[in-house]
Amino acid sequence: MTNPFEIKDIRVYVLKPGSKGGTYFKAGEGHWLVDTLISNPMHAYPEYREKRSSWGINVLGSLIVEIESADGTIGVAAGSGGMPAAWLVRHHFDRFLRGQDSRNTNMIWDQLFRASLPYGRKGLTIFAISAVDLALWDLIGKVRGEPVYNLIGGRSRDEINFYCTSPHAKAVQDLGFFGAKVPLPEGPYDGEAGLRRNVAYLTEQRAAIGPDYPLMVDCYMSLDVPYAIRLAEACKLLNIHWWEEVLSPEDIEGYRQIKQAHPTIKFTTGEHEYTRFGFRRLIEERTLDIVQPDVMWVGGMTELLRIAAHASAYDVTVVPHGSGPYSYHFITSQTGPAFCEYVAASPDGRSIQPVFGSLFMGEQLPQNGKMRLSDAPGFGMELADHDMLARVE
């Protein structure tokens, strides 16, 4: 008898030139995410200061993985890493998938991680593992005829509340989201004048939305300890709900110093950290109020569940970064806070569009800042048009 969960084929794609979507940073020229002034690690260099696309934030592009089972069911997932990650899946990871039972997610993840230890552990390699893992969960759900949240603990809440990341807090408020996260425009290399401009910018954002509406600030790993402490102090009267990614995630000691300086202010990080090994000290040091793994980057759903279990023992909240429906299924299954991030996918950040652009059919979108996930099998999405894709052999 044929095992419907047995993996028969693996197909890997990248987007064809001119196609948009799939990852946050392939949204097209002029999009606020890549072509506006946002403080970032390259801010020290004037030629790369004005927009993140100038230094290549969007250079890798999207990765799409299809995994087909013996009965013809197809699981699919999008990820990051473009051609380099696609090559790894096609030429290294394929051997651990073909003929395997797709339900063996723990073993498959372990084999992919161990086999790539000599060159992996973080970054691009974990991007590739994440896409494979998410495609496996999608396949299992579709074979079973169940949504992924049912496979990872069931429905813990009927509705998810969303905050939205956008450069326009007032537009976010008007769309019905419970809070707004705005990108910090300038950083330490912009000096005292830059710090004053940051405070003025955040003051304007606060004035537009009123004193009590949650306002968060994304600093994209661009600050240092003294600057972060000074900026948080200068903005105390603005009632910032949390400061995100003020430092690179491996600067554990730096986060400790900042928390000592501001014990009542919330700090978060984690979207650019990888696997449970990277999150171990972030959780155990208890210097962060929220950790924010990105399920498309951290190792997929299998690894996100491990990180969440670890964090729960330390009373550290887990709220994934972005990742659209992949994060929505996780949040639906969890008993922690029932909120999630939506990254404004429209070019100007003022309206709601699919996170993955035109890549998928079936992607649910927040309505008035809320969502009840459907019971569609898997992650509830299908590829919209294979003509957008170039297969990697």
Instruction: Give the separation between CA 332 and CA 376, rounded to whole angstroms.
Output: 14
Q: Residue 207: left (phi > 0), alpha (psi -120 to 50), or beta?
A: alpha
Instruction: Give the separation between CA 218 and CA 208, rounded to whole angstroms.
Output: 18
At 373, list the tokens.
């996930």
Instruction: Give the separation between CA 107 and CA 101, rounded to whole angstroms.
Output: 10
Q: pLDDT value at position 215?
A: 98
Instruction: Give the separation between CA 160 and CA 128, rounded to whole angstroms.
Output: 28
Q: pLDDT value at position 26?
A: 62
Strands 74-80, 62-69: parallel, antiparallel or unpaired by DSSP?
antiparallel
**By the 8 A CB rule, do 262 and 226 touch?**
no
Per-residue b or e along 292-301, where b marks 16 or more CB atoms closer than 10 Å to that residue's CB: bbbbbbbbbb
10-residue averages of pLDDT along the chain (393 residues) = 94 90 72 94 95 93 97 97 98 98 98 98 98 99 98 97 98 98 98 98 98 98 98 98 98 98 98 98 97 98 98 97 97 95 95 95 97 98 96 97
Residues with catalytic roles:
321
Which one, of 223, 224, 238, 213, lies nearest residue 184 by Cα? Answer: 223
Q: pLDDT value at position 22?
A: 76
At 75, list the tokens.
């699981």
Q: pLDDT value at position 185?
A: 98
Chain centroid to Cα 379, Å, comes to 16
Domains assigned to the chain? 7-145+384-391 (3.30.390.10), 151-381 (3.20.20.120)
Helix or strand run (H / E) with residue 182 = strand 179-183
Instruction: Give the separation between CA 299 and CA 320, rounded to whole angstroms.
Output: 12
Instruction: Give the separation between CA 218 and CA 234, rounded to whole angstroms.
Output: 16
Spatial CB neighbours of 171, under 8 Å, sequence gap ≥ 6: 349, 350, 351
Cα radius of gyration (the chain): 20
Q: pLDDT value at position 30?
A: 86
Q: pLDDT value at position 269?
A: 98
Largest CA distance in the chain: 71
Which one, of 318, 327, 320, 332, lies nearest residue 158 by Cα? Answer: 332
